[in-house]
Amino acid sequence: MLSSLAGVLFDGFAYGMLLFLLSVGLSVTLGMMNFVNLAHCSFAMVGAYATFSLVGRHGWPFLATLPMAFIAAAVISVILERTLYRRLYRASDLDQCLFTIGIVFISIAVYAWFYTTEQQSVQVPDWLKGAQHVGAMSFANYRIFLVVIGLAITAALVLLVERTRFGAQVRAAVDNQRMARGLGIDVDRAFMFTFALGGGLAGLGGALSIQMVGLDPTFALAYLVYVLIVVAVGGLGSIGGSFAAAVVLGISDMAGKYYFPWLGAFLIYLVMVALLMWRPQGLFGKR
Amino acid sequence: MENARFRPLEYVFWACTLLPFLVTPSYLSLASQVAVTALFALSLDLILGYAGIVSLGHAAFFGMGAYTAGLIAKHYWTEPLSGLLVAAVSAGVLGYLLSHIVVRFRHLALIMLTMGFGLLLAEAANSASALTGGADGLQGFHVPGVLGFKFDMFGRAAYAYALAVLFLCFLVARRIIHSPFGLALRGIRENATRMPAIGAPTLAHLRKAYTIAAVIAGIAGAVLTHTTSTVSLETLSFGRSADVLVILILGGAGRLYGGIIGAIIYMVARDQFSGVNPQYWYFWIGLLLVAVVMFLPNGILGGLRALRKKPQ
């Protein structure tokens, strides 16, 4: 019982790290520009398919493809931001939702065209397979790897946002965009970099998730609900909030699947609805 | 206030809805699907187009009506009109209960909450497979016909039934939006903080609108059940909520006919395109969405109206 509890906690935490990578970018960009980007998971899919092609078709080692997944997703997200998204910053929530859902549909069809709708997988190095055994408990190597990467990226993000000039600009823009502009901060430029960073992290998350959840073109829609839950529960523009929400969601999802399999995703949705009714602005949101 | 009388073009439009009987009798089952979808879109229009409540979980009420009608037909009686009434009431009760929560929220929290309730209901229906049949759907009943007309393979009675229900609900919706209550809803949509200042009970109005929309969505679901004699989990799915939103925006929200025009275009296009290649249908619908938001912010009907006004 105890060892299964530890196992569920650990697996849930690793899953939470994945959700954090997928959603942190959306949380910050939503907080800055109030732009509801439902296509965020499409960027994750760009990264995931970049890794899949490089490993499967060009024989790159798995680890070397991760930076490429980041770059591919970041580049695509900047191109979209510069050409299309920026026209809609002043549009209504609904228009933004519809527009980005349109992008999601297009991305699903395009990836289905190039990669078929089959479930794909990647070959990971041998040292990422298998598990470590501590007493009666076992921890899958790949999940340990996920936790390490997740924690390292969280630490780097916190340093970036708390300690650098760029981070200060981002924080100022999230808190009060007009005031930040008034102080001479180039919010558009800061936003572009944040958008690229968020898209890139989503791409990295997508690449890392192939091993855990598989990959097919509906990825962009299937994980959207989870990402939105993390963002809405964690609160807009809050890295700490996203982290906490992702971990809570990851653990409760794993626990739900392990202890109450007949409930399906019911538990998650119930937790989300209850949390939102209690705090509509999210757990850590200020507005 | 605009003139509430029927305009000549509206008579022409409703006369045209009879055309499938004569011109395309082989497409009558598609025509009744279109009528059901149009009714569903009309109900979303009441809350989204007129009251400004964005919902990504409207299928909850559609599915509620569909399952209620299905359960009645399976376990009690197969007379559709009374089944329709019970389905409408059950969806209305659900809508009334949820309205107390939903109208208090705005923006992202509202979208997430409506979506959350929709997903909750879909999961509940999936889990309660003893009652609903789970992923297999509710089967094993047959609704023979309505008012003595048999639902046969040609689908004449089915389309007549769906069309009649659509037309009656349309008249009711039309009456509502031309009433002072409808005007108050538009006031709330335009500025929710100023309406209380002129003494309008904003939340009560929104609750009422949400409940009415739930009733109409439930009726649409029940008609689908009666004309197809089966209920699937898809009636509650997120996909259906998203589709109806797309349909309404495509046609033009807040103009009553928007949902109907959107449903005709969307359903006919899907019927044609997905015959060729089902998975790429998404590409076209995505492109359509992007184009509508960028170039036709008020939908097809809004675009037509702008074209007509330009010469002056």
Query: Residue B253: which CATH number?
Result: 1.10.3470
A238 lies in a domain? yes
According to the model, what pLDDT value does residue B123 have? 87
Q: What is the mean pLDDT of each run of 10 residues along chain B (312 residues)?
A: 72 83 82 93 92 89 94 87 92 93 82 88 86 82 78 81 93 90 87 83 90 95 91 87 88 88 89 73 83 81 77 51
DSSP β-ladder status, B149-150 and B145-146: antiparallel
H helices present in chain B, as ranges: 8-16, 19-22, 28-45, 59-75, 80-102, 107-127, 129-132, 156-177, 180-190, 202-228, 238-251, 258-276, 281-295, 299-309
Q: Residue A101 sits in a domain of what CATH number?
A: 1.10.3470
Mutation to test the A interface, candidates B289, B292, B296, most A Cβ within 10 Å: B289
Residue B6, in any domain of the structure: no
- Angle at the Cα of B246 (from B241 to B250), degrees rounded to 5? 150
Query: Which residues in chain A are contacts of B47 at CB distance < 8 A?
Result: none
- Mean pLDDT score, A267-272: 82
Assigned domain for B272 exists: yes
Query: What is the C-alpha separation between B141 and A217, in angstroms, rounded?
Result: 37
Closest approach of A144 to chain B, Cα-based (Å): 32
Q: Is residue A41 scored above 60 in pLDDT?
A: yes
- Tell which residue, B61, B30, B31, B33, has the closest CA to residue B46: B61
Instruction: List the beta strands (DSSP E) in A27-173.
Output: 131-134, 137-140
DSSP state for residue B237 in the 8-state scheme:
S
Residues of B in contact with A93 (CB under 8 A): 54, 107-108, 111
Distance from CA of B122 to the nearest CA of A (A): 9
Q: Which DSSP string do the residues of A217-278 spell out, in sequence order?
A: TTHHHHTHHHHHHHHHHH-TT-HHHHHHHHHHHHHHHHHHHHH-GGGTTHHHHHHHHHHHHH
Residue A128 is assigned to a structural domain of this protein: yes
Residues of A with CB under 8 A from a CB of B: 30, 36, 84, 87-88, 91, 93-95, 97-99, 101-110, 112-113, 117, 225, 228-229, 231-232, 236, 262-266, 269-270, 272-273, 276-277, 280-281
Range of the domain at A121: 2-278
Tally of domains in chain A: 1
**A263 has a pLDDT exceeding 60:** yes
Asked if residue A43 belongs to a domain, the reply is yes
Q: For residue B282, report the phi and psi dihedrals to the nearest 5 degrees.
A: -60, -35
Mean per-residue pLDDT over chain A, rounded: 86
- β-strands A131-134, B149-150: how paired? unpaired
- Which of A95, A106, A280 has the CB atom closest to B109's CB atom? A280
**Residue scoring higher pLDDT (A148 or A280):** A148
Residue B12 lies in a domain: no
**In a domain? residue B71:** yes
pLDDT of residue B1: 46
Total domains, chain B = 1
CA distance B225 to B241: 17
Would residue A284 count as lying in a domain?
no
Identify the domain containing residue B194 by its residue range. 23-309
pTM (two decimals): 0.84
Sort strands A137-140 and B149-150 into parallel, antiparallel or unpaired: unpaired
Better pLDDT: A136 or A66: A66
For the ranges A55-59, A145-149, A172-176, B273-277, the one whose mean pLDDT is highest: A145-149
User: Is residue B162 domain-resident?
Assistant: yes
In a domain, B10, yes or no: no
Question: Is the residue at A114 inside a domain?
Answer: yes
Residues of B with CB under 8 A from a CB of A: 48, 54, 56, 101, 105, 107-109, 111-113, 115-117, 119-120, 123-124, 126-127, 238, 242, 245-246, 249, 279-283, 285-290, 292-294, 297
**pLDDT tens digits, one per residue of A52-93:** 999 888 888 888 899 999 999 999 999 998 988 888 888 887
A161-165, A206-210, B34-38, B136-140 — which is least confidently predicted? B136-140
> Looking at the predicted structure, is the pLDDT value of residue A30 above 70?
yes
For B37-85, the DSSP string reads HHHHHHHHHIIIIIT----S-THHHHHHHHHHHHHHHHHT---HHHHHH
Closest CA to A105 of B243, B147, B172, B220: B243
Query: Is residue A283 a part of any domain in this protein?
Result: no
Q: What ipTM was reported for this prediction? A: 0.80
d(C-alpha A20, C-alpha A226), whole Å: 10
Per-residue pLDDT tens over the stretch A231-255: 888 887 778 888 998 998 898 888 8
| CA dist., res. B289 & res. B201, Å (int) | 35
Q: Phi/psi at A166 (nearest 5 deg)?
A: -60, -45
- Say whether A132 sits in a helix, a strand or coil: strand
The answer as to whether B49 is a domain residue is yes
